[in-house]
Amino acid sequence: MGPIRNMLADVGITEQQWRVLRILEESGPLDPTRIAEQACLLLPSLTRILQKLDEKDLIGREVDPHDRRKQIVRITAQGERLIAENLDTSVQLMDEIREQIGEDRYEMLLDLLNELDDQGQEVEET
């Protein structure tokens, strides 16, 4: 179990749920499609994750009054509290990982993964 996964298990959420929460906290209210883009998740996965976060009262959802197909998802005060209580530890753990592999190598890895991801998108469009 990764150290970050350990920490999150203690507060009862998964890595993806944490990821979605952080996106909502940083970017403000969003509709599911945009959350999925930012989190690199497919919509069926995101649907389930939002249902879990909703049950835990970490997010709230309203129908978009301008387009009733859409939702507006926003983090709750309780969700913000959960982030505030764990962000420092999370950042610290990420720093340790970056240190162990090396800052430059870490950046390179992220670049390569993004490049691979971009390529995957192109292939889909044919």
Site residues for DNA per CB under 7 A: 1-2, 5, 9, 14, 16-17, 31-33, 41-52, 67-71, 122
Q: Which stretch binds its own copies (CB under 8 A): 27-35, 50-58, 63-71, 92-100?
A: 92-100
Which of the choices its own copies, DNA, none does residue 55 contact, using the CB cut-off of 5 to 8 A by kind? none
Question: Residue 53 and residue 19: Cα distance in Å, rounded?
Answer: 11
Give residues with Cβ within 8 angstroms of 86, minimum separation 6.
Answer: 7, 8, 11, 18
Question: Residue 7 and residue 90: Cα distance in Å, rounded?
Answer: 8
Number of residues that bind its own copies (CB under 8 A): 30
Closest by alpha carbon to 23, among 46, 45, 1, 52? 46
Min CB(26)–DNA separation in Å: 18
Nearer to its own copies, 45 or 70 (CB): 45
Q: Does 113 bind its own copies (CB under 8 A)?
A: yes
